[in-house]
Chains A and B, each alone.
Chain A
């Protein structure tokens, strides 16, 4: 079954732009990215769109489809009525480069600010041992394909450019949580997450979790546990006293602060 799909695509660059109408033939089982490619191949050879794997694994083709942040390659046309017009615009929280392509360098800058994994030495036989159940918490976060839809959606930065310098965003809270929960990591990253990464600015509205194409429970499994650790450390009166008088300078896992 094929039909003519009506699309409105944002065309422009950082100086401005507008929604333009296109119509292309589409068929059963296709996704929004297929339709965009057809526009590119037949009507607008210079239509800028970023994509790679077209299988939901690389996280390149993030955009807003009828206002909702999604991967274009995982958004099936059958989710819409054939007569419906599909509007595709670039991610709003990042500056436009051209058409549907945005400048996501914010995320790469934030990645540089994160202290890396610091393991202890290997076991005597040159290998490392971890229990499956202990690696699974981190594995959930490492499913992240860096599509940056969570970063795009998060209201702390979505319409608040001024918050960007102090806020790493959900993608990097995942990374903090992953390292914090890594069985072999030797650093305590809680203070850093609260301070430099702006964990405290998150008020757990779960928008990030809702748009995650990998269905990672960003808020419940990463952000809230991190926040709880911050609270434990800062506000538990006994721990506070222990820290104050210098008899408690390690956390429950024996780690010192990074």
Chain B
């Protein structure tokens, strides 16, 4: 950041005070301006890793984040980083990891992304250690690896159950060491493109506001990396924070990029259900990885009743075999509690619906009767803390009550597998949860943190080299577009007596939760879409009170339009896909359909800019040498 005197006296933020004084010194009417080679929107694992890579590649790089540095949703990731390092099981390698990932995604993954991910994850983890991360160790002093759902071998590098925090802190400290500029509590509302003339229109920058002061800010940059995470805040019961409003998804759409497979939303099987105020907060899959089991109100370990054909050959069918597996993975099959998340979430949902739920409408997750209190406190310290402090439950002595919670969106910005570049918009990149394809129809636990690192790095490098390529033809921003972005951002203040944005958000969350949730139905999806149209109308007539300085009502009003368009994408794609696969389950179309297994659904913004258009696109076909890892049904060989 260039230093000037014109700074906020307390925060050091640059000011645009001339605007208020009416002395607009430049063509943007006094708006604070910056210029970088690469800007990264989002400061979670993907954003920080991308920024480090772009910086290392020689690009002038900035990170822009809605929150303070180090608070991103990545800190909520608990279990670990999946990487076939072979520290616990020498039989593990990238091919096994690749196969697990594809099968977990019900073969709808972009095979190339899944391959790169499995190949590069180990080195990305070791790199974190070079930068100061302190992972738990094996007896030999190597990075420890733990069991997780859908993974053949113990594969997740971890730090107790706070791996995400370790990752974010390590990347944050690396970022600080490298001196990369960070714009904290700054929200991007618009991407700019060059005019569409002879050359295809490409990214030219971005527009946003400081949350703290409400003042506007522009970035001129040929490369923008979206690393904004997911969309979970559009659902009522979610493990996601307020930030997860689908900003990157919506920015990409409005810039002309396409979204892939938005119907696939992961409901994590184990969220807290009680007390009501914590409903949805994540309970890590590590509880099951470390021996925890699921029971219904009759005390039955019910997952044995829900083993699907697709995973039968690799799943234990007796409790004895399941229990032996923790120590001997070669001669035993995985417990059904460690089936991929979509399977477990559906099973829990069925048990609750059948009236075998717990007191507060969940299911019991029991580790207390299976492991010693010392083991539990050591391996799951933050779960122990979380239940003790928020629910008065001692997880070393009694079972937890849990139920499904909206957790992750598999769908996202369509990108090139190797470069993370949007094929439609030159200069636009996406990494992490905001990108699509990698996880197919369902993500395996632990594959998210590794995804952030692998594709964050790739996005950063390619965004930097693209910026260097076009360095001589940068055109700057169009003042008229900046003016328009400003007017759009201020619109919520224009109307008096309009509707409260919190009410619209609340209604949208209910709509998505009830009608586009874990089990879907054609008629309900239709109703959800009609609901969304209604919210869009209402959102045109909302008003916010107060002024621009740190005003959450205004911030929500701006985020709300992102939530609406992304919700429309999800509901529309969910209605179109007439089958059940991974994170998309249709009551009226139970079971997967092989024809749908080769189709991606692609969404783009419509011409009027007020809705989305859906098309079908063939799934990229896996090359023969990788196909040999699977038999004809997609099962593991």
Q: What is the number of residues of chain B that contact chain A, defined by CB distance less than 8 Å? A: 71
The answer on a CB contact under 8 Å between A45 and B500 is: yes
The answer on a CB contact under 8 Å between B277 and A119 is: no
> Among B126, B281, B502, which residue has its beta carbon within 8 angstroms of that of A41?
B502
> Among A30, A45, A95, A101, which residue has its beta carbon within 8 angstroms of that of B550?
A101
> Among B72, B159, B502, which residue has its beta carbon within 8 angstroms of that of A139?
B159
- A binding-site residues for B, Cβ under 8 Å: 13-14, 27-31, 34, 40-42, 44-60, 74, 76, 95, 97-99, 101, 103-105, 108, 111-112, 116-117, 119, 122, 126-132, 135, 138-139, 142-146, 179, 182
Q: List the count of A-B residue pairs having beta carbons below 8 Å apart.
A: 180
Give chain B interface residues in 148-180, CB to chain A under 8 Å.
159-160, 162, 165-166, 169, 173-174, 176-177
Closest A-B pairs by Cβ, 10 of them? A29-B275, A46-B546, A45-B553, A129-B141, A117-B132, A116-B177, A41-B502, A48-B550, A98-B550, A30-B277
> Among B69, B281, B550, which residue has its beta carbon within 8 angstroms of that of A55?
B281
Which B residues are CB-close (under 8 A) to A55?
76, 278, 281-282, 386, 390
The answer on a CB contact under 8 Å between A74 and B212 is: no
The answer on a CB contact under 8 Å between A13 and B549 is: yes
Which B residues are CB-close (under 8 A) to A34?
277
Which B residues are CB-close (under 8 A) to A127?
85, 126, 142-143
The answer on a CB contact under 8 Å between B142 and A129 is: yes
Bound CA span A211–B390, Å: 17
Which A residues are CB-close (under 8 A) to B184?
108
Quick one: given A76-B390, A131-B141, are A58 and B75 in contact (CB under 8 Å)?
Answer: yes
| Interface status of B621 (Cβ within 8 A of chain A) | no
| Interface status of B100 (Cβ within 8 A of chain A) | no
Distance to closest chain A CB from B428 (angstroms): 26
| Interface status of B129 (Cβ within 8 A of chain A) | yes
- B binding-site residues for A, Cβ under 8 Å: 10-12, 67-73, 75-76, 85, 126, 129-132, 134-137, 140-144, 159-160, 162, 165-166, 169, 173-174, 176-177, 184, 212, 241-243, 274-278, 281-282, 381-382, 385-386, 389-391, 500-503, 506, 544-547, 549-554
Quick one: given A46-B552, A53-B76, A54-B241, are A103 and B545 in contact (CB under 8 Å)?
Answer: no
The answer on a CB contact under 8 Å between B545 and A45 is: yes
The answer on a CB contact under 8 Å between A145 and B501 is: no
Closest Cβ neighbor of B164 among chain A residues: A57
Which B residues are CB-close (under 8 A) to A59?
71
Distance to closest chain B CB from A47 (angstroms): 7
8 new A-B contacts at CB < 8 Å, known A116-B132, A132-B136, A132-B141: A45-B544, A58-B241, A103-B212, A111-B176, A127-B143, A139-B160, A179-B132, A182-B132
Distance to closest chain B CB from A96 (angstroms): 9
The answer on a CB contact under 8 Å between A142 and B166 is: yes
Interface centre among A95, A99, A146 (most CB of B within 10 A): A146
Which B residues are CB-close (under 8 A) to A138?
134
The answer on a CB contact under 8 Å between B390 and A31 is: yes
> Among A44, A52, A58, A122, which residue has its beta carbon within 8 angstroms of that of B130?
A122
Which B residues are CB-close (under 8 A) to A14?
10
Bound CA span A58–B69, Å: 10
Q: List 28 A-B contacts (CB under 8 A).
A: A27-B277, A28-B275, A29-B277, A44-B545, A45-B501, A45-B552, A45-B553, A48-B549, A52-B242, A52-B243, A55-B76, A55-B281, A55-B390, A56-B386, A58-B67, A74-B390, A97-B549, A103-B10, A103-B11, A127-B143, A129-B141, A132-B141, A132-B144, A135-B136, A139-B159, A142-B159, A142-B165, A142-B169
